[in-house]
Amino acid sequence: MAIVDASDLLAHAVRHTYVLCSFDATSLDLAEAIAVAADAENAPVMFTVYEGAHLAHLLPAVEACATRIRSPAAVRAVVSSAEAAAAALRLGANCLTATADAASVATTAEACGAYVERAIRAVGDEPSSDECARLCNNGVPAIHHDGLLPRRAAEFLRPGREGSYEDTLRQLRQSIAATVSACLRRSGSAGHAPAAAACRAWVPVEHTILFNASAEEAEVRRMAARGTRVLANVPGVRRVFAGRAVTDGAKYRYCWIIRFASERVIDSYRAHPDHVAFADGEFRPRASDRISIDYKEFG
């Protein structure tokens, strides 16, 4: 399974009367433990990360964990500005929670088709099955186990613990996975992964432009460098590649390959003023011979 649309996942929890669980994936060890437990319990799950200097390294790793498990998953980022929201979407999040500047965060997310979370209930510990059932009956679709896994990790890594570094980390992941499994069972989400697989997949789109230019290659290179800087900052753009054909006789000498976070970025990207200004002012006048096609991976 892959990452799925977060709004679909929350709606699935409501329809099937269980509570979706969100956990802090603040290190790779915690993210891997969440993934192992979700697959063991056949449960949909949400990984949560936080804005900060480490986000550029951690979020792609969390996305990789969420992508490779069999259970449907969502990746939530907690952010405080539109700039942080755009960065989180570029790095792999598909669900956002705003701690400040909520209107701008929502505008950025909605332009990319990402879900803006407003309904997850934070819980400080491990609610019982009865408590989860009451939350579900009261219309709460998801709970975030706020700080639970980092606390459990700190308790496990107490001073004086014996064993090698590798053994300690393996045992830590096992311990955290057991905690996550217990939470998934109490929430009622265990066993719901097959049905949740009907949620829409969250997959990137490769916006591909092949072109020939009327300008000299040096000018094309300068244009591509400017365009890469401009287009990489459009919300929903994850990667910008500009290059030339390896074979001199190729039908099209140059290309852009621009990765969008989701299919819904196609329209917002096309209308974004930075894209319009670059395309109309620099690219199109130099590249009248071009084709443009959007691709997504087989699913």
At 126-161, the pLDDT tens digits run: 899 999 999 999 989 999 999 999 999 999 988 777
Task: Evaluate whether residue 1 is within a structural domain.
Answer: no
pTM score, two decimals? Answer: 0.93
Range of the domain at 213: 205-296
Confidence category of residue 1, pLDDT binned at 50, 70, 90: low
Indicate the number of domains in the chain: 2
Which of 142, 170, 196 terminates a domain? The answer is 196
Strand partners, 144: 22, 122
Which of 157, 176, 196 terminates a domain? The answer is 196
Which of 178, 196, 214 terminates a domain? The answer is 196
Asked if 126 and 225 sit in the same domain, the reply is: no
Strand partners, 77: 49, 96
Asked if 98 and 192 sit in the same domain, the reply is: yes
- At residue 179, does pLDDT exceed 80? yes
pLDDT exceeding 90 applies to what percent of the chain? Answer: 86
Strand 121-123 and strand 142-145: the pairing is: parallel
At 119 the pLDDT is: 81
- Determine the Cα–Cα distance for residues 227 and 222; give it in Å rounded to an integer: 9
Distances (CA, A) of 140 to 123, 220, 289: 12, 53, 53
